[in-house]
């Protein structure tokens, strides 16, 4: 909340004659319940254009159009990437690389292909594409070339649709309004999903805006998960009780049905 | 209908789970086995993390054994003294198994270990069962050639700490049943099975127990050991998923009723050959996954999650 307030203050304080981007989300809260099958988030907003530029419109000096990049990043976690190799005839995990901080979900939605609208330097500076966000844990030098492992992580996450590149998913209207629809998958990690909006022109980031989506388990799921981790003894006995009642009850019911 | 499993942390179709439970239930009803050895590998194939599959498998065995245990207790076909000795062994074995399981999951090798355990035990047991079943099938088609000796003296009878097991009519050392119990306890913890497929033949051939008390006594041991294993896995690795277990149990109980009816229509010898082939098929499937080069050599694991 403090961060948001700070950003807001920053926005207000910005000089009027700069290009600005402001955005909002169709929802800031996602609840993971038993029948959660994914959720579609609408990201929308407006571009406030430089006053001088508006005045200059129509003259000889035409500016190139804006591009917008929307990045939704799931909570970061440590990930271990294992490699299999054949040992004594069978395929087993032989070595691994620990990646200290990897987003559990990462979607990049753009107006045009990312490589065409930003320079590699800008990408590295703002950590926009998924490759830029992954770092190998310090001190992990168990394998020679860790980049193979980060590439494998990107490949696996892209295949499971946890990392998405959504080219031309952001629509800009008359250089002022923009919107994008991003699909969140059914299997989400709990936590804050930071959403960054970048206003881009000529390969450079002109302005950015941040907000967040909060994903949490809800209802029965939340209760069971908490019980399992906070009171594992009670949870274990609950699991037993359910098994005994369901196992005995169902067969007693069948006996009743069969006997008329 | 997609449901979110709170511990496995994956979304799965509820009907798939009911189907898996039901299919295994049919087979377990037909053959009179717990079905843990089928459910756990099937859950691997459906993308449930192995640690969750094993722990939840143990929970499911509790449900599928309870009505059998009650029926045998009513009919007094349980040797409670023998059952208690097997149970003490089972608790020791399960505790050891849980520690090994935890240590291996920290090393990142638990999947391999569980798969190897499945190949080894299902391969051995399946082959022995097939041999025995084919031999007895052959015997039923031929006229009788003498009978088995009622009482054989083996190394089992030479061990110390002998005691009387009245219901089984045995006077043997407590060491062999204790060892059998330990072995079954380890299997329960690392494979998520009841272990009846090891214990029943061991009770008949090693201990020489009469067949009429074997099933009831083994079920008595199984239900307590799997109950203990369930709670122990829940406490040490938080890997029991009650949502997953619930759907498997419901499917399993319904399937078992259907399976029992099918089982009544088939001959015992045919059933045993079929069961042996089924055990070998599961073994081959798990073994092929280890032997064939996987299409993806890399995998991601999140520490602290399953």
Interface test with B, best of A74, A130, A234, A240 (most B CBs within 10 A): A240
Cα B297 from Cα A152, distance rounded (Å): 9
Q: Is the pLDDT of residue B272 over 90?
A: no
Out of A33-37, A205-209, B71-75, B116-120, pick the least confident: A33-37
For chain A, say whether B64 makes contact (Cβ under 8 Å).
yes
Out of B75-89, B121-135, B143-157, B256-270, pick the least confident: B143-157
- Please tell me the predicted confidence (pLDDT) of residue A5: 63
* Burial readout A33-72 (b: 16 or more C-beta within 10 A, e: otherwise): ebebeebebebbbebbbbeeeeeeeeeeeeeeebbbbbbb
Cα B209 from Cα B151, distance rounded (Å): 10
Higher pLDDT, B107 or A155: A155
**Residues B179-206: pLDDT tens digits?**
999 999 998 898 888 888 888 888 888 8
**Helices A219-230 and B242-265 sit at what angle, rounded to 10 degrees?**
100
* Binary contact (A34, B243; C-beta < 8 A): yes
User: Does the domain at residues A2-73+105-127+143-217 carry the CATH identifier 2.60.40.10?
Assistant: no
Q: Is the pLDDT of residue B150 over 60?
A: no
Confidence of residue B33 (pLDDT cuts 50, 70, 90): confident
Region A248-253: what's the mean pLDDT? 84
Confidence of residue B235 (pLDDT cuts 50, 70, 90): very high
**Closest partner residue to B298 among A32, A81, A244, by Cβ?**
A81
**Residues A105-145: pLDDT tens digits?**
999 999 999 889 999 888 888 889 888 887 666 555 566 67
DSSP helix/strand/coil, B276: helix
Cα A59 from Cα A50, distance rounded (Å): 15
Other C-beta atoms lying within 10 Å of the C-beta of residue B136: 13
Return the closest-CA partner of residue A197 out of A162, A172, A161. A172
* Binary contact (B7, A228; C-beta < 8 A): yes
Confidence of residue A16 (pLDDT cuts 50, 70, 90): low
CA distance, residue A227 to nearest chain B CA (Å):
10
Cα B28 from Cα B38, distance rounded (Å): 9
- Please tell me the predicted confidence (pLDDT) of residue B228: 95
End-to-end CA distance of chain A: 64
- Could you state, in order of their start, the residue ranges of all structural domains in chain A? 2-73+105-127+143-217, 223-258
CA distance, residue A258 to nearest chain B CA (Å):
10
Return the closest-CA partner of residue A4 out of A258, A206, A260, A192. A192
Prediction pTM value: 0.79
Q: Which residues are within 8 A (CB) of A27 and not within 5 positions of it... i.e. 6 or more apart?
A: A39, A41, A213
Return the closest-CA partner of residue B235 out of A228, A238, A221, A244. A228
Out of A55-59, B57-61, B165-169, B171-175, pick the least confident: A55-59
Mean pLDDT value across chain B: 85
Q: Tell me what ipTM this predicted complex has.
A: 0.83
Out of A46-60, A95-109, B24-38, B108-122, pick the least confident: A46-60
> Contact A198/A172 with Cβ under 8 angstroms?
no
Cα B123 from Cα B125, distance rounded (Å): 6
- Please tell me the predicted confidence (pLDDT) of residue A42: 92
- Please tell me the predicted confidence (pLDDT) of residue B15: 92
CA distance, residue A171 to nearest chain B CA (Å):
31
- Please tell me the predicted confidence (pLDDT) of residue A258: 79
Mean pLDDT value across chain A: 83
- Please tell me the predicted confidence (pLDDT) of residue B194: 86
Confidence of residue B2 (pLDDT cuts 50, 70, 90): confident
- Please tell me the predicted confidence (pLDDT) of residue B153: 63
- Please tell me the predicted confidence (pLDDT) of residue B106: 79
Residue ranges of E strands in B132-239: 162-165, 170-173
Region A57-63: what's the mean pLDDT? 58
**What DSSP state is assigned to residue A74?**
P
Cα-only R_g, chain A? 25
Q: Which long-range contacts (CB under 8 A, 24 or more apart) does B205-211 make?
A: B206/B154, B206/B156, B206/B176, B206/B180, B207/B82, B207/B156, B207/B168, B207/B170, B207/B172, B207/B176, B207/B177, B207/B180, B208/B151, B208/B152, B208/B156, B208/B170, B208/B172, B209/B79, B209/B82, B209/B168, B209/B170, B210/B168, B210/B169
Return the number of CB contacts < 8 Å for A and B. Answer: 173
Q: How many CA atoms lie within 13 A of B83 on its CB side?
A: 22
Distances (CA, A) of B228 to A148, A249, B9, B83, B182: 43, 21, 24, 15, 13
**Closest partner residue to A238 among B66, B112, B242, by Cβ?**
B242
CA distance, residue B109 to nearest chain A CA (Å):
7
- Please tell me the predicted confidence (pLDDT) of residue B182: 95
Q: Which residues are within 8 A (CB) of A173 and not within 5 positions of it... i.e. 6 or more apart?
A: A179
Region B267-272: what's the mean pLDDT? 78
* Range among A168-182, A206-220, A230-244 rated most confident: A230-244
End-to-end CA distance of chain B: 24
* Binary contact (A152, B249; C-beta < 8 A): no
Confidence of residue B154 (pLDDT cuts 50, 70, 90): low
Region B279-284: what's the mean pLDDT? 89
Return the closest-CA partner of residue B181 out of B95, B123, B53. B95
């Amino acid at each position: 909340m403090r961060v948001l307030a700070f950003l807001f203050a920053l926005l207000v304080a910005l000089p009027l004659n700069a290009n600005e981007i402001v955005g909002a989300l169709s929802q800031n809260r996602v609840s993971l319940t038993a029948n959660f099958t994914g959720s579609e988030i609408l990201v929308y907003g407006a571009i406030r254009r430089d006053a001088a530029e508006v005045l200059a419109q129509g003259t000889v000096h035409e500016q190139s159009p804006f591009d917008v990049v929307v990045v939704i990043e799931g909570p970061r976690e440590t990930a271990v990437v294992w490699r299999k190799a054949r040992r004594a005839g069978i395929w087993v995990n032989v070595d691994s690389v620990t990646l200290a901080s990897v987003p559990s979900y990462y979607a990049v939605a753009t107006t045009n292909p990312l490589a065409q609208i930003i320079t590699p330097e800008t990408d590295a500076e703002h950590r926009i594409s998924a490759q830029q966000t992954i770092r190998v844990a310090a001190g992990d030098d168990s394998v020679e070339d860790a980049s193979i492992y980060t590439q494998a992580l990107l490949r696996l996450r892209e295949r499971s649709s946890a990392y998405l590149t959504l080219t031309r998913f952001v629509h800009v209207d008359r250089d002022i309004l923009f919107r994008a629809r991003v699909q969140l998958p059914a299997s989400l990690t709990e936590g804050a999903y930071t959403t960054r909006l970048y206003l881009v022109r000529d390969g450079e980031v002109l302005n950015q805006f941040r907000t967040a989506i909060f994903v949490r388990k809800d209802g029965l799921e939340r209760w069971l998960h908490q019980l399992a981790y906070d009171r594992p003894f009670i949870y274990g006995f609950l699991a037993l009780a359910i098994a005994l009642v369901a196992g005995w009850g169902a067969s007693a019911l069948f006996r009743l049905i069969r006997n008329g | 209908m997609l449901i979110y499993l709170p511990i496995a942390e994956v979304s799965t179709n509820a009907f798939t789970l009911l189907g898996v439970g039901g299919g295994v239930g049919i087979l377990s009803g037909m053959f009179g086995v717990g079905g843990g050895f089928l459910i756990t590998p099937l859950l691997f194939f459906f993308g449930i993390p192995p640690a969750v599959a094993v722990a939840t498998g143990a929970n499911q065995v509790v449900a599928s054994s309870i009505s059998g245990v009650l029926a045998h207790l009513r009919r007094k076909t349980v040797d409670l003294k023998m059952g208690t000795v097997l149970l003490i062994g089972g608790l020791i074995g399960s505790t050891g198994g849980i520690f090994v399981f935890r240590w291996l999951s920290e090393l990142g090798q638990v999947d391999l270990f569980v798969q190897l355990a499945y190949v080894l035990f299902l391969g051995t047991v399946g082959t022995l069962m097939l041999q025995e079943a084919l031999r007895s099938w052959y015997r039923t088609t031929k006229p009788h050639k003498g009978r088995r000796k009622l009482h054989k003296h083996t190394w089992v009878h030479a061990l110390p700490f002998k005691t009387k097991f009245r219901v089984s009519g045995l006077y043997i050392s407590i060491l062999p049943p204790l060892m059998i119990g330990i072995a079954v306890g380890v299997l329960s913890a690392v494979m998520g099975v009841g272990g009846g497929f090891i214990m029943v033949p061991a009770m008949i051939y090693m201990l020489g127990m009469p067949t009429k008390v074997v099933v009831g006594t083994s079920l008595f041991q199984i239900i307590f050991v799997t109950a203990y294993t369930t709670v122990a896995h829940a406490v040490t690795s938080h890997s029991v998923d009650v949502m997953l277990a619930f759907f498997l149990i419901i499917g399993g109980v319904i399937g078992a009723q259907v399976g029992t009816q099918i089982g009544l229509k088939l001959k015992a010898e045919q059933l045993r050959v079929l069961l042996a082939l089924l055990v070998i098929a599961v073994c081959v499937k798990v073994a092929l996954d280890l032997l064939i080069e996987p299409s993806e050599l890399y995998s991601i694991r999140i520490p602290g999650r399953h």
